[in-house]
């Protein structure tokens, strides 16, 4: 997502140009074709690419890709600050939650995972997602962290509103939520922190490619 989106945004992939066939592009990027398809779907939904069928069809860079002007720092300083703030708060909350979380707090997190899995509406999914991350801070038993997490999630909502949300991305994200709860139950702070960092980085890569 980041590599393709940035190439479009900076003009390395010019408006109207046709992307190579899936097999060739996947080989060039060193990824599987299924991973490539998910990235292309996201870029089509965001308006960066278009797709047509038929003999002359294929995947093309949109005539007017969103936010395609050159910018040495595509996320912008404010967005980068928000993402850095999120890393500090989310990782800190996971460390303390792995030490302090009780069964009731973990059960509440599991219920939110189930709610996200059953949701077919992004607005409802996002509400449960916000509640999940605040719930991690609550599991850390730190009122100040809860306040900070609530602020961070509000800041992130403005950024997340700028990007599309393919079902595959949401499904993978929620699978990480479920894995995180299991690691918190196991008191495995190291693996929980590593997982949370990967979870956050996924959003960072998408944002870096699109804005």
The list of the chain residues with pLDDT below 70 reads 65-77, 210-211
Long-range Cβ contacts of 121-124 (<8 Å, 24+ apart): 122/165, 122/170
Tokens 């922190």 correspond to 193
Name 36's Cβ contacts closer than 8 Å, sequence gap at least 6: 22, 25, 26, 29
Domains in the chain, please, with CATH?
A: 2-61 (1.10.10.10), 76-210 (1.20.120.530)
User: Which among 149, 118, 122, 125 has a CA at the least distance from the CA of 135?
Assistant: 149
Report the alpha-carbon distance of residue 140 to residue 149 in Å, rounded: 11
Pair 206, 161: CB distance under 8 Å: no
pLDDT at 153: 92
pLDDT per residue as tens digits for the range 86-119: 999 999 999 999 999 999 999 999 999 999 999 9
pLDDT per residue as tens digits for the range 121-139: 998 999 999 999 999 999 9
pLDDT at 74: 47
pLDDT at 3: 83
Token couple for 33 = 């074709």
Report the alpha-carbon distance of residue 110 to residue 33 in Å, rounded: 32
Would the pTM of this model clear 0.75, i.e. be above it?
no
Report DSSP letters for 4-69, one per residue: HHHHHHTTSS-TTPBPPPHHHHHHHHTS-HHHHHHHHHHHHHTTSEEEE-STT-EEEE-SS-TT-S
pLDDT at 90: 97
């Amino acid at each position: 997502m980041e590599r393709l989106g940035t190439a479009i945004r900076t003009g390395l992939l010019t408006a109207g140009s046709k992307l190579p066939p899936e097999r060739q592009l996947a080989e060039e990027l060193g990824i599987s074709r299924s991973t490539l398809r998910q990235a292309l779907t996201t870029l089509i939904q965001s308006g960066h690419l278009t797709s047509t069928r038929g003999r002359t069809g294929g995947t093309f860079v949109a005539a007017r890709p969103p936010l395609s002007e050159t910018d040495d720092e595509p996320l912008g300083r404010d967005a980068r600050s928000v993402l850095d703030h999120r890393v500090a708060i989310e990782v800190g909350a996971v460390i303390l939650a792995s030490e302090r979380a009780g069964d009731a707090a973990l059960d509440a997190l599991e219920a939110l995972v189930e709610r996200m899995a059953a949701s077919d509406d992004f607005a409802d999914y996002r509400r449960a997602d916000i509640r999940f991350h605040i719930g991690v801070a609550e599991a850390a038993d730190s009122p100040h962290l809860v306040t900070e997490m609530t602020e961070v999630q509000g800041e992130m909502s403005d950024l997340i509103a700028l990007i599309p949300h393919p079902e595959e991305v949401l499904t993978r994200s929620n699978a990480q939520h479920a894995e995180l709860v299991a690691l918190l139950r196991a008191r495995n702070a190291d693996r929980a922190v590593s997982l949370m960092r990967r979870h956050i980085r996924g959003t960072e890569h998408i944002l870096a490619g699109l804005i």
